[in-house]
Structures are given as structure tokens and as C-alpha cells.
Amino acid sequence: MVYIRAKKVKSDNYLYLVKSIWDSKKNTSKQEIIKYLGKASEVVKDDLPIDYRNDPKILSAIALHNPRDLVKREESTKKSKQILYKKLTDGDIHSSVKIYEEYTKIFNSADFFDKILRPVMHKIGDDWANNIINIATEHVASNVAQALVKIIMDKVTGNANKKKILVCVPVGEEHHLGCDVLETYLSLKGFKVYNMGTSIPTESILSFIESNKPDVILVSITLEDNILAGQRLVKKIKDQYSIPILVGGFALQSTKVPKFEATVITETTLEEIPKILRTV
């Protein structure tokens, strides 16, 4: 049985998607958390794992928590995605920045990256693969998205007083938007981030680790073709250093998750990543 569980912290409720499992040894049932969903008044259908997004009981449970905000959030998110798609494919960086600024007046930067920019970029990639848009338009949109993330990053203020995080990609991986998003958001949260989001030789990454001694390494993989290179990169790092490694990216959002000598992150929001970093 799968259901929503609410936990109150101070004056706010936070939601978890949980399932009930029978413990035959203790002859009782126990709860297992499937996913932490976030602040109750901000949770929407897209926060749920795909398998549960159309479950009427679960959707009803979510709607019980401040339904007016839920409707407002759904409408704002849908509209922002549609407009951002058009502005990115039109090459309009100025309007893209305005969309970010308007959205974050109501919601936060993590929501923008998770619920607006990421799904829009996935749609642009799918539309190019299905010949709905051409390769030139896809490149324009990607370049504008990267410029948008850089502009957001330039707005970051504050001192880095937490762990040092190295963000990198395996050899052959040319997509670095995910790395740029991680750099921006984790910097906002006070982490010191080294963004090596371009394809460079593994030996250069190892040399950088030796010189800068990061506390955690994040490996981003966008294309499935680069999974083997990612596995080799992780193994070489592990052979020399005992640094925690997290691996994530679009290439790992599949039903069959490949094995790494590292912690693989799937279906994780940006808001959850700082919590994960604090525990490794």
C-alpha cells in the first residue's frame, strides 16, 4: 500500500510518499519512504515518481494541503514552461531571464531548475530527436540555457562555508548544463563548487583532486553512450582516493540503473542534494 504521510515541523507540514511493508519476523507492518516530496503547500503532481502521478488517492491527499496554492503553482509552472520553451528556441536570453525572475518571486531557484528548466530542456532534446525542431534550433536553445544559468550564477552572493564539491563529467560527455545548474544552486547554498563540466582527460581530473582535495565528487552523465566512460572515471578515482562520489544525470533516469562504485542518484530534486551532501 502506497500513501502520503505528512510530518509537521514547527508551523509547516512536509510530505513523504511511503509504502507499507509487512515484516514477517516481527509480525507487523512498517513504513518505507519512497520519496521525500517537500513542503506540503508546494508539492505538485510532477514531484511524484512517474508510477504514482495518476493515482487518484495520492493526488487527492496532496490537494488537501492548501489546494489554492496547488492550483496556482500548477498553472504558473505550466505557463512558465511553455513560454521558456519558446524563448529558448527563439534565442531570446533577455526574456528567458525575465521568466526566471518572475517565477522566483513566487517560488525558489530550485523549483525553477527542477520544474521549469530541466523539463523544458528535455522536451527540446526530444523534439530535436523526433525532427520537430532542427539541430540549429537545438544548439541555439542550449546556448541560451547555458547563458541563463551563468547569469543566475552571477547573482549569487555569500561566503562558501560548507563542503568543497567537485562537479565533473567523463571523457566524451559534451553536455554541461547539468553541471552549471549544480554549480549555481550549490553555490547559493554556501558550498564551494569546482565546476569541471567539460570533457577533459581523466588524469587531469585526478591531478585536480590531488591539488584541491574536494570533500565530495559529483559526476554528471547526460548521454547513455557515456555511461561506460563514467564507470571507468569513478573506478580510477576510487583506486586512488577515498572521497565520496555521487553519480547522476539524464543518462541514469531509466528503469535499469547501471552499477557504479559510487552512490547513484535518480529522481532526486535539487533541494534534496544539499541534504545528501551533508550525510556523505
- Provide CB contacts within 8 A for 120, sequence distance 6+: 81, 84, 85, 88
Q: What is the pLDDT of residue 71?
A: 64
Same domain, 57 and 77: no
Domains of the chain: total: 3
Same domain, 178 and 250: yes
Query: In the chain, what is the greatest distance between 2 CA atoms, to the nearest angstrom?
Result: 61
Same domain, 242 and 202: yes
Task: Tell me if 247 is assigned to some domain.
Answer: yes
Same domain, 109 and 181: no
Q: What is the pLDDT of residue 83?
A: 95
Mean pLDDT for the stretch of residues 63-84: 75
pLDDT of residue 245 exceeding 90, the answer is: yes
The CATH number linked to 115 is 1.10.1240.10
Same domain, 38 and 86: no
Mean pLDDT for the stretch of residues 115-129: 91
Task: Tell me if 243 is assigned to some domain.
Answer: yes
Q: What is the pLDDT of residue 230?
A: 94
Count CB neighbours of 140 within 10 A.
18
Confidence of residue 255 (pLDDT cuts 50, 70, 90): low
Which carries the bigger pLDDT value, residue 35 or residue 256? Answer: 35
Q: What is the pLDDT of residue 2?
A: 86
Task: Tell me if 159 is assigned to some domain.
Answer: no
Mean pLDDT for the stretch of residues 130-157: 87
Which carries the bigger pLDDT value, residue 127 or residue 69? Answer: 127
Confidence of residue 66 (pLDDT cuts 50, 70, 90): low
Same domain, 80 and 58: no
Name the least confident of 108-117, 142-151, 166-175: 108-117
Same domain, 73 and 59: no
Same domain, 123 and 187: no
pLDDT of residue 25 exceeding 80, the answer is: no
Q: Which of 15, 43, 63 is the last residue of a domain?
A: 63
H helical segments located in the chain? 56-63, 67-90, 93-103, 109-111, 118-129, 135-154, 177-188, 202-212, 227-240, 273-279
Q: What is the pLDDT of residue 150?
A: 85
Same domain, 57 and 92: no
Q: Which of 93, 119, 154 is the last residue of a domain?
A: 154
Tell me which residue range forms the domain holding 199: 164-279
Confidence of residue 180 (pLDDT cuts 50, 70, 90): confident
Same domain, 177 and 214: yes
Same domain, 135 and 181: no
Task: Tell me if 113 is assigned to some domain.
Answer: yes
pLDDT of residue 208 exceeding 90, the answer is: yes
Count CB neighbours of 195 within 10 A.
20
Same domain, 180 and 243: yes
Mean pLDDT for the stretch of residues 106-120: 84
Confidence of residue 157 (pLDDT cuts 50, 70, 90): low
Q: What is the pLDDT of residue 62?
A: 77
Q: What is the pLDDT of residue 220?
A: 92
Q: Which of 154, 179, 195 is the last residue of a domain?
A: 154
C-alpha–C-alpha distance, residues 71 and 59, integer Å: 12
Task: Tell me if 245 is assigned to some domain.
Answer: yes
